[in-house]
Amino acid sequence: MRKEKLETVPSFEVVHIDSQILLQSKTAATVKQEKKEEAAGENLSVANEEREVVLTIGQLEAANRPPLRISRNDTVTKAITLMMQNDTAYLAVMSGERTVDGIISWRTIGKARAAKRPTDTVQHYLAPVRIVEIDTPLFDAVRDIVEGEAVLVRSKGAICGLVSARDIASQFVTLSEPFLFLEQIEHHLRAILEKTRLSSSAVKELVNPADTDRIAKVSSVDDLSFGELARAFARPEIWDRLHLLLDCGAFSLRLEEIRSIRNKVMHFHPDGISEEDREVLRKTRQMLQGL
């Protein structure tokens, strides 16, 4: 896409793999900025390793599945029937494709029945609901979900999904486990490398020589990026100081494999990582724990 000067709207990195996106030509300003970044060479890869990870609500399947909906003038009996037929706790109350009146749920029905509402129409049983855009950071949306049970997701002015606490819970392990594995792997690598007692100058030698700004900031093993950690373990003079009964070449290949998986995780591919990649992370963490 970069070669052909194309981009997607919204960015394919912030929506689910099954979402529709628009492919269009990049603006002159965007192309100019990318050329400037390419001129920075290896610095770009370090920046990519360290850039903040922003997961969006649009990367959840539920955010891209049109919600079941009902009219405010329908009966609560009809709402209950739809909820039971579809094993769902929420219905969007809407007038047309874009006008949202609220949501109805088992909770709102229970509260209204307890208050002995005299009418059986949905409008007397609904509750307000927050609407978030499809590119809203996931953790910002989670706060809204905790406060209001669920949120409706909007894309291009139309409601495209409903995300509830149940959806978040079902996705939690899938979303968080790779990050936890990577954090533990990096922690173990730093702890192992610390045993070599590298001097500040030796640590700086692991940084790209052309990146003078970064060299000035790095002074200890804790400051190294994952790529720089992998570079350290690949150097014979450092490996020999570790006294590990392991093959340096095979160990370094595994770290390169982890680095590749890390890029997928940190850039958050909408389709996630494969079970094979997840197993590599799990086994690597287990191996490092024993060193």
Q: What is the pLDDT of residue 14?
A: 54
Of residues 149, 147, 137, the one with CA closest to residue 60: 137
**Domains of the chain: residue spans and CATH:** 6-54 (no CATH), 61-168 (3.10.580.10), 169-289 (no CATH)
Q: What is the pLDDT of residue 222?
A: 95
Q: What is the pLDDT of residue 23?
A: 78
**pLDDT mean over 255-259:** 97
Of residues 132, 240, 251, 137, the one with CA closest to residue 185: 251
146-184 burial, b for 16+ CB within 10 Å, e for fewer? eeebbbbbbbeeebbbbbbeebbeebeeebeebbebbeb
Residue 246 neighbours by CB distance under 10 Å: 13
Q: What is the pLDDT of residue 131?
A: 97
Q: What is the pLDDT of residue 135?
A: 93
Average per-residue pLDDT for the chain: 87
pTM greater than 0.85: no
Q: What is the pLDDT of residue 88?
A: 95
Q: What is the pLDDT of residue 8?
A: 77
**pLDDT mean over 101-117:** 92
Q: What is the pLDDT of residue 115?
A: 87
**pLDDT mean over 74-103:** 95
Residues 152, 138: Cα–Cα separation, whole Å: 13
- The pair of structure tokens assigned to 149 is 């049970």
Q: What percentage of residues in the chain have a pLDDT greater than 70? A: 83
82-117 burial, b for 16+ CB within 10 Å, e for fewer? bbeeeebbbbbbbeeeeebbbbbbeebbeebeeeee
Q: What is the pLDDT of residue 264?
A: 86
Residues 118, 6: Cα–Cα separation, whole Å: 58
**pLDDT mean over 163-180:** 86
The pLDDT tens digits of the residues spanning 46-56 come to: 555 555 556 78
The pLDDT tens digits of the residues spanning 209-238 come to: 999 999 999 999 999 999 999 999 999 999
pLDDT higher than 70, residue 37: no
SS3 237: helix
**pLDDT mean over 250-276:** 86
Q: What is the pLDDT of residue 239?
A: 97
Confidence of residue 34 (pLDDT cuts 50, 70, 90): low
pLDDT higher than 80, residue 117: no
Residues 64, 19: Cα–Cα separation, whole Å: 7
pLDDT higher than 90, residue 19: no
